[in-house]
Amino acid sequence: MLVGWTVVGCSGAPGGSDADAPDSSRADAPGEIAPPPRLPDCGNGRLDDGEECDDGNRLDGDSCDWLCRLGGGEPPAEPDPSVDPYGPIPGVGSVEVEGLTPFTGAGTRIPLVWTGRELAVAVYEASLDGLSRIRFHRFDREGRPMGGSWSYDSPGVRLSSPELLWTGSDFALFFVDPLVGILFVRLERTGVPVHDPVLVVPEPEAREPSADLAGDGFVLAWATAEAADSEPAWCQPWLEGCAIRVRLLAADGSTEGLPGPVTLEEAAGWPPDVATSEGGFAVTVSGNGTLDARGCPLRLVHLDASLGGAVSSGTLSAGGPAEVHAAAGGYVVDWHVANDPATRDRGHWCVASFDETGVLVRSPPCPANLSSGVAGPVRLAAGDGGYALVAGHGDHVQFARTDLAGVEVVSGGLGVESLVGGLGVAWAGDVFTVVYARELAWGFPLYLVRLGLEDLPGS
């Protein structure tokens, strides 16, 4: 499940007028839960029993391999020949998604889901008269509206960070109101709300929710700043980091008798992402210190069904932010690593595979041939025996098709002709669908590109 991430800091100015207060009867007050233990592990920068070295990451190619053994590590793997290449369908190009003008910045995550019949997104919109809106919108593969658009309006208050899930029968939508915390609403397939928005995290400092299904309910992770009236930037070691918390919710958003909130990090550099597998839950967590000035140290923390039994992956590398998805019987994590230590610009992406208990199963591939123009957050979707990854930089979007080990099969560009704002990608049955916002003088219209089994254009 992709992380809810925007360029806005983990705290934001709460804004002006009081909107109608959402129902808070199902939410409990945030508890002070001690962080779970950090287990000694390869990648923690300390030489533990059984390790020949520990350079503070889980990558090969730096004289200490992904299992903390001396040497350069294993030779790069060849791609699985059974994985078909995908690319932009010739003659189709970008298609505008009618009826949406989301407000996005570079790297904003646009949650895109496929129900088996249609696509749906949730976006933040703003108007010149001060109206802030979270909008849910359904459309077909060609970007045409399918009806059932729903919005939650709040004058003078900047709503943000929508997270959207398809439960198999309806939609679950989470978003931030900085006056009260994180709100939750379920929507019928047609977009009709099942109930009024419910306050599920009563913390005005809460930001950037990420959620996944957990049995009949949900697991929710978020970032929480120390103060609601500040806006620290992400991954800036000279500024105070954000706490990372996770808890379980019932299907109606209630929390009684359910574990959490559990604090996983007191000073995080990036927002979290969370995913569910048969073994429990996995959360991407970062510290706010830097490693070789290329970003904040990223790790995966695995929790059991009661949000206990924490196991850390050790630091994967510097970089970020990171996403985690349930895939291939376990988890897959993707993130961006900058090549330029001075600007954290122009880098490449890495893909790490974990089993259902959160154990890294192979050396994460980090294809260097994408270094000419990939920056900012990476988005990933699983489909047809592999993954599709997309990332933006300036006026273009880069994509790659990989196998289930994250080894690149083919890559190229999507031919975007203007500055790119937010991004999202989903497997839509027989094609990958990419949505992106174009930064134009009058707004941020949303466009989609389909990646199919066709001849690939040059990058």
pLDDT tens, 367-408?
Answer: 754 434 566 678 999 999 999 998 876 667 888 899 999 999
Q: Scan for tokens 């990171």, then name that residue.
A: 322
Distance of CA 442 to the CA centre of its chain: 27
Per-residue pLDDT reduced to its tens digit, 180-232: 999 999 999 999 999 999 999 999 999 999 999 999 999 999 998 766 555 54
Non-local (6+) Cβ contacts of 448 within 8 A are 94, 95, 97, 119, 143, 433, 434, 435, 436
Q: Give residue 459's pLDDT.
A: 37
Q: Give residue 6's pLDDT.
A: 34
- Does residue 3 carry a pLDDT above 70? no
Contact 419, 394 (CB under 8 A): yes
Q: Give residue 155's pLDDT.
A: 80
Q: Which residues pair with 187 in a beta bridge?
A: 171, 193
Contact 261, 348 (CB under 8 A): no
Alpha carbon distance 1, 96 (integer Å): 25
- Total number of domains constituting the chain: 1
Is residue 202 included in any domain, yes or no?
yes
In terms of Cα–Cα distance, which of 353, 344, 427, 444 is closest to 390?
Answer: 427
User: Residue 133 half-sphere exposure, CB side, CA atoms within 13 Å?
Assistant: 18
For residues 429-439, give the mean pLDDT: 87
Per-residue pLDDT reduced to its tens digit, 20-71: 445 544 455 444 444 444 445 788 888 988 899 999 899 998 899 999 999 9
295 vs 125, more confident: 125
Is residue 106 included in any domain, yes or no?
no
Is residue 308 included in any domain, yes or no?
yes
Q: Name the maximum alpha-carbon separation found in the chain.
A: 62
Phi, psi dihedral angles at 363 (to 5 degrees)? -65, 130
Alpha helices, H only, 254-392: none
Contact 316, 299 (CB under 8 A): yes
Per-residue pLDDT reduced to its tens digit, 73-99: 888 889 999 999 998 887 666 787 876
Contact 301, 313 (CB under 8 A): yes
Query: Dihedral of CA 355/357/361/365: which sign?
Result: positive
Length of the chain: 459
Alpha carbon distance 353, 325 (integer Å): 10
Domain holding 312: CATH number?
2.120.10.10
User: Residue 231 half-sphere exposure, CB side, CA atoms within 13 Å?
Assistant: 9
Is residue 171 included in any domain, yes or no?
yes
Is residue 185 included in any domain, yes or no?
yes
Is residue 448 included in any domain, yes or no?
no
Per-residue pLDDT reduced to its tens digit, 254-266: 999 999 899 998 8
Is residue 262 included in any domain, yes or no?
yes
Is residue 351 included in any domain, yes or no?
yes
- Does residue 340 carry a pLDDT above 60? no
- Does residue 443 carry a pLDDT above 70? no
Q: Give residue 23's pLDDT.
A: 56
Non-local (6+) Cβ contacts of 96 within 8 A are 143, 445, 446, 447
The domain of 308 spans 87-94+146-374
Alpha carbon distance 72, 74 (integer Å): 7
In terms of Cα–Cα distance, which of 214, 106, 120 is closest to 162?
Answer: 120
Q: Give residue 455's pLDDT.
A: 52
- Cα 255-274-183 angle, rounded to 5 deg: 45
Q: Give residue 417's pLDDT.
A: 61
- Does residue 245 carry a pLDDT above 90? yes
User: Residue 363 half-sphere exposure, CB side, CA atoms within 13 Å?
Assistant: 20
Alpha carbon distance 402, 385 (integer Å): 9
Q: Scan for tokens 């959402």, then name that residue.
A: 22
The pair of three-digit structure tokens given for residue 325, joined into one six-digit string: 């998805």
In terms of Cα–Cα distance, which of 290, 279, 332 is closest to 57?
Answer: 290
Kindly list the distances between the CA atom of residue 246 and the CA atoms of 211, 257, 352, in Å, as whole numbers in the listed order: 9, 15, 22
The pair of three-digit structure tokens given for residue 10, joined into one six-digit string: 């983990």
164 vs 95, more confident: 164
Task: Catalogue the E-assigned strands of 329-457.
Answer: 330-340, 345-354, 378-383, 386-393, 396-403, 408-413, 420-427, 432-438, 446-452
Band of pLDDT at residue 106, cut at 50, 70 and 90: low
Contact 410, 421 (CB under 8 A): no
Mean pLDDT, rounded, of the chain = 81
Q: Is 309 exposed, middle or buried (0-12, 13-18, 19+ CB in 10 A)?
A: middle
